[in-house]
Amino acid sequence: MLKVFALLTLLASSAVHAQTSLQTDLPLNYLAQVHPDAEQRPLVVFLHGYGSNEADLIGMKFQLPKQYNYLSVQAPMALGEGRFQWFRKKGDGAYNGETDDLKDASQKLRAFIAAAAQKYHAQPDKVYLIGFSQGAMMTYEVGLRQPAAVGGIAALSGRVLPVLKGELKSAQQHPPLAIFIGHGTADDRVPYSGATAAKDLLEKLEYKPQFHAYPGVGHSISAAELRDLNDWLQQLNP
């Protein structure tokens, strides 16, 4: 669950939640904050963390490029009232995931991305996944397995799941994939070492991730990270 970032973003998120209804016409339920025109615009898809929901990250759009369209997806597995997950976690241990859960969630997310790109007039290389915590793990799971499906991924406070590590191929065998990694050094839920390990793994595979460490930040998204994320998206589509 996202804890804290700028007060303005939290207020904006509440406003969006009040004004935006849940959309159910695509393979996963979602919130949409999009331009009313039918122009081809870059599309961001937010993936929330364990135990959260589609309203958690949508307020970030107010700190990100205005020319983009934004969707925020509800994970497919319900935990309780207003709480969802992408895959099950065992006890208090690390988020290693279950193969069947990952397979099912990945298939649904890939189908969602393709349908959303068509509906909102975005080419696959102009679709960007931004995930927090378990959602960040899903950005790796989908983006690294099928790089042609998206133009970039941003993994915030996440890690590459063990089941994925042995199945990755060199970046030279795929279309270019932009990667942003952001992580607080004081994260007590998904340790910072998960970010550095992901960076090392991706660089060995000849990817060029943009890496950002946030000293003293816990399991949350800071104002500094939002600024860096905004800069990254602006660089991708000036």
Task: Give the Cα separation of 170 and 189 in Å (integer).
Answer: 30
Where does residue 1 rank: exposed (0-12), middle (13-18), buried (19+ CB within 10 A)?
middle
Active-site residue, selected from the candidate residues 13, 52, 72, 133: 133
Contact indicator for 125, 117 with CB cutoff of 8 Å:
no
**1, two tokens:** 């669950």
Nearest in space to 131 (alpha carbons), one of 234, 52, 62: 52
Mean pLDDT per segment of 10 residues, for the chain of length 238 residues?
42 45 97 94 97 96 97 96 89 70 94 98 97 97 93 97 85 86 97 97 95 98 98 96
Max distance between CA atoms of the chain, in angstroms, equals 46
Question: Quick check: is 133 catalytic?
Answer: yes
Known catalytic residue: 21?
no
Catalytic residue among 52, 72, 157, 187: 187
Whether residue 125 lies in the annotated active site: no
Residue 6 has a pLDDT of 40
CA separation for the pair 146, 24 (Å, rounded)? 25
Contact predicate 17/234, CB 8 Å? no
Q: Is 156 helix (H, G, I), strand (E, B) or coil?
A: strand
Q: Note the pTM of the prediction, 2 decimals.
A: 0.90
Q: Which of 48, 183, 219, 220 is flagged as catalytic?
A: 219
Amino acid at 73: V
What pLDDT score does 20 carry? 73
Provide the token pair at 221. 């998204």
Q: Per the structure block, which two tokens stand in for 202?
A: 């991706």
Determine the CATH number of domain 7-236. 3.40.50.1820
Domain range list for the chain:
7-236
